[in-house]
Amino acid sequence: MKVSSALKFLTEALTQKLPEDRAKREALEILAHLLRVSPLNVWLKLEEEVLDETLNHILSRRLTGEPLPYILGVAYFFGRPFYVEKGVLIPRPETEVLIEHFLEVAPPQGVILDLGIGSGILAITILLEKPNYIAFGVDISKEALKVAQRNANLHGVSSRLYLILGDAIKPFKEKPLFTAIVSNPPYISEEEFETLDEEVRLFEPRVALVSGKTGLEFYELILQNAPKLLQEGGFILVELGYNQGKPFYELAKALGYKVDFKKDLLGYQRSAVIWKEENTS
């Protein structure tokens, strides 16, 4: 099938399940992946051929609700490709706010700890943006660590990234090793999880999404233990749920922290930098 026909075919088929604008975007992403070009350059390849069998295989999986990044095995974050597969969260555009926030406040060099590293997008992107940094990444999932290692190899930072299988901060002794602790932790409450889009509930790892009854449990764990691990002047950087700005602020303040928020494009307080009051002048 010619690319021009495939584009029309995919768009029409995907529109059965998706809004038209998203169907068009995903059709371009599928063809870009098969042609190994950017979505924009698909328009320069309209006369080329793609295999009907391959298209139908991708389409049949997508129409079951399986997220496209899992089907293609790749997602983009901060303008770079990352391997993804079932067992790791799919990168979200709003998480890029954490990188922007980090770059605004971080010193020129340092050591970071990425709690729940998943596919590695946070730590690896920081290492790419900050060549004088090294990073430690912890995850409870062996599968996630394998994906993070693949991504570290892909982006040439494996010599500066140390991956550890473990549960949160448990692998570390109480020593102030880190300039910053970064995390996109589980922050969905058990009740809210049931309201999530079916694609998320059925396909993405629940353990990486659900924190507990309130959605604040993992934040509390980080905030209570971070002072033992942070260097003088160190800070914590976490992603927040769209409605968690106020409860997170109250939790952090009660534990003696100051908080600086950064909003995402929709105006939600998406990223929080937190530091102890005594570390400020």
76-98 residue pLDDT tens = 999 999 999 999 999 999 999 99
Same domain, 167 and 52: no
The boundaries of the domain holding residue 54 are: 3-64
What SS3 state is found at 196?
A: coil
User: Is residue 83, in this structure, part of any structural domain at all?
Assistant: no
User: Is residue 111, in this structure, part of any structural domain at all?
Assistant: yes
Q: Does residue 48 contact residue 2 with C-beta atoms inside 8 Å?
A: yes
User: Is residue 80, in this structure, part of any structural domain at all?
Assistant: no
User: Is residue 82, in this structure, part of any structural domain at all?
Assistant: no
Residue whose C-alpha is closest to residue 168's, from 143, 141, 149: 141
Tens-place pLDDT, residues 121-145: 999 999 999 999 999 999 999 999 9
Which CATH number belongs to the domain containing residue 151 in this structure?
Answer: 3.40.50.150
CA dist., res. 264 & res. 200, Å (int): 20
Q: Residue 209 pLDDT more than 70?
A: yes
Question: Which residues, in sequence order, are CB contacts of 278 under 8 Å at separation 6+?
Answer: none
> Looking at residue 279, what is its pLDDT?
45
Same domain, 169 and 99: yes
Q: Residue 170 pLDDT more than 80?
A: no
CA dist., res. 38 & res. 60, Å (int): 23
Same domain, 122 and 166: yes
Same domain, 149 and 101: yes
Domain boundary among 45, 64, 83: 64
What SS3 state is found at 60?
A: helix
Same domain, 97 and 163: yes
Here the tokens at position 91 are 């990168």
Instruction: Provide the sign of the torsion angle of the four alpha carbons 69, 162, 117, 271, taken in this order.
Output: negative
Q: Does residue 158 contact residue 149 with C-beta atoms inside 8 Å?
A: yes
Same domain, 104 and 210: yes
Same domain, 132 and 260: yes
What SS3 state is found at 94?
A: helix
Same domain, 55 and 157: no
CA distances from 93 to 87, 121, 258 (A): 19, 12, 26
Same domain, 155 and 237: yes
pTM above 0.85, yes or no: yes
Domain boundary among 27, 43, 64: 64
**HSE, side-chain direction, 13 A CA sphere, residue 104:** 13
Tens-place pLDDT, residues 227-264: 899 999 999 999 999 999 999 999 999 999 999 999 99
Same domain, 178 and 265: yes
Report the number of distinct structural domains present in the chain.
2
